[in-house]
Amino acid sequence: MINGEFLMTFEYAPAPESRASVSIKSKYGHYIGGKFVAGEKHFRTINPATEEVLSSIALGGKKEVDAAVKAAKKALDMNWSKLSGRERGKYLFRIARILQERAREFAVLESLDNGKPIRESRDVDVPLAAAHFFYHAGWADKLEFAGVGTNAKAHGVVGQIIPWNFPLLMLAWKVAPALATGNTVVLKPAETTPLTALLFAEVCEQAGLPAGVVNILTGDGSTGALIVNHPGINKIAFTGSTEVGKIIAQSVAGTNKSVTLELGGKAANIVFEDAAIDESVEGIVNGIFFNQGHVCCAGSRLVIQESISDEFIKKLQKRMEKIRIGDPLDKNTDLGAINSRAQLEKIKDLSLAGDAEGAERWSPKCALPDKGFWFAPTIFTGVTQTHRIAREEIFGPVLSVLTFRTPQEGIDKANNTPFGLSAGIWSEKGSKVLWASQKLKAGVIWSNTFNRFDPTSPFGGYKESGWGREGGRHGLTAYLKGVAHE
Ligand code: NDP
């Protein structure tokens, strides 16, 4: 101990999770009508940490989208819509249990295809995915108690398009409520992370889910657009960028299709001068560096009271020096690989814009692997509200720091964004937390914590962050027709 500081540091030995639980085929087709159907064109999915090719993935075109929608409609008419809620619930319980049983396999596969640390895929993505199926299994036979009356009906065939940041978890957020409410599904995973959705197709088979209730079509944005515009689709559920969300909103305008959009964010984590500093530092780190910052609700703006700013930034930098970057399969890794070369370029471009506009960049000294896509944890201080890094979603491990003098100024800065997905408040004063939470324009607000998710809690935003809610009773009712949404 010197000056009250514990100076001993430990070298961590590598602790890689075994890949043995995972078997990846060299080529995959689409999962349509309960069978894998060979695709015509293919693209490659790679491990972003090493650039190793993992598999060849089918690119869905019009023929495959037609077949999947037809299979989903047939399953709806033949059996799924006739089953009681109790019977549907049994399938969901089975799926949830199988996800738990195969948790290690899913976690390793997710980390390989996505680049996220195994610590997160193992402890967050997979358990939460199972929890979503358990939660919605419980609702399946109780829909009349969801406050939607007794006449609410399923939409029918639902098209679901998901992003690459939480591939299995986003699938669970979409598929579980859709099946619980009696819909059938055509789901498209993101081009760069299709493998856990394809493994999920095996889970559906293992659970004995009737053929066609879940169809998984792989492909790129063109496949997504074909699903959105297909006349046989009754509802679209999308998670992804605001840009594509706007295209989807335009495409479905004037049709009978229902739509929910879960889009981008630029969340403010507001730290008041009476906050518990060390806890807040930990919360800020979790808010922006969890999942490499590839999180729609990431706390990508630190809005901090000027009186504590210098001390806080020093502590934050010290904490950032401890972030371990590297092999996503290593159990000690905190920050994994950026999901794709394209995303890495976007993060680099926006960071260069931060430099050019006069903000001050800082990253801890850290060695990044030679192969794969990597970006060091970064903070920008001296950021003003007009800077691109304060306004645009970077979707990477980059934090923009803005300061305020009065609480009202903090709120004004936090709300000065076209987005409105989430926000965090750090203060030891309950009255201040309540005051701030009422003033913040965000769909989800955390107090003295961040990035907490629970299937029972509705999640979603307003302004350019989307339409509708996912999770909880609100998310459930979005899959029913004839429900007026709050
Ligand atoms: P996209 O919005 O393009 O992708 C989300 C999903 O939509 C993917 O499955 C994608 O297919 C599909 N898609 C793309 N174009 C269309 C279309 N015209 N019609 C229907 N579906 C479509 O996000 P990106 O992956 O390109 O990421 C770009 C930026 O979006 C990121 O940098 C980040 O800022 C933001 N983003 C936000 C997310 C969030 O959760 N809010 C999630 C992901 C990204 P495919 O990718 O296979 O081509």
Q: What is the CATH number of the domain that holds 447?
A: 3.40.309.10
| Same domain (yes/no): 293, 392 | yes
In the residue annotation, 204 being an active-site residue is answered as no
In the residue annotation, 262 being an active-site residue is answered as yes
| Same domain (yes/no): 474, 435 | no
Residues 6+ apart with CB under 8 A from 264: 241, 242, 296, 393, 395, 419, 421, 464, 465
Contact 227, 240 (CB under 8 A): no
Residue 66 belongs to domain spanning: 27-263+464-481
Query: Is the model's pTM score more than 0.85?
Result: yes
| Same domain (yes/no): 229, 274 | no
> Considering 64, 105, 191, 262, which one is annotated as catalytic?
262
The closest residue, in CA terms, to atom 11 on ligand 1 is 221
Give me the tens of pLDDT residue by residue for the chain, a chain 486 residues long: 556 566 666 778 999 999 999 999 999 999 999 999 999 999 999 999 999 999 999 999 999 999 999 999 999 999 999 999 999 999 999 999 999 999 999 999 999 999 999 999 999 999 999 999 999 999 999 999 988 888 889 999 999 999 999 999 999 999 999 999 999 999 999 999 999 999 999 999 999 999 999 999 999 999 999 999 999 999 999 999 999 999 999 999 999 999 999 999 999 999 999 999 999 999 999 999 999 999 999 999 999 999 999 999 999 999 999 999 999 999 999 999 999 999 999 999 999 999 999 999 999 999 999 999 999 999 999 999 999 999 999 999 999 999 999 999 999 999 999 999 999 999 999 999 999 999 999 999 999 999 999 999 999 998 999 999 999 999 999 999 976 554
Pocket of ligand 1 (CB under 6 A): 161-165, 188, 190-191, 220-221, 224-225, 228, 239-241, 244, 247-248, 263-264, 296, 343, 346, 393, 395
The closest residue, in CA terms, to atom 28 on ligand 1 is 241
| Same domain (yes/no): 79, 182 | yes
| Same domain (yes/no): 67, 180 | yes
Q: How many domains does the chain have?
A: 2
| Domain-embedded: residue 20 | no
| Same domain (yes/no): 214, 81 | yes
- What type of residue sits at position 176? A
| Same domain (yes/no): 220, 318 | no
Query: Cα dist. 247→33, 229, 241, 251, 403 in Å?
Result: 29, 11, 10, 6, 35
Choice from 116, 161, 343 to test ligand 1 binding pocket (greatest atom count within 8 A of CB): 161
| Same domain (yes/no): 403, 377 | yes
* CATH code (residue 64): 3.40.605.10
| Same domain (yes/no): 55, 187 | yes
Of 102, 99, 167, whose CA–CA distance to 136 is shortest? 99
Read off the DSSP letter of residue 5.
Answer: B
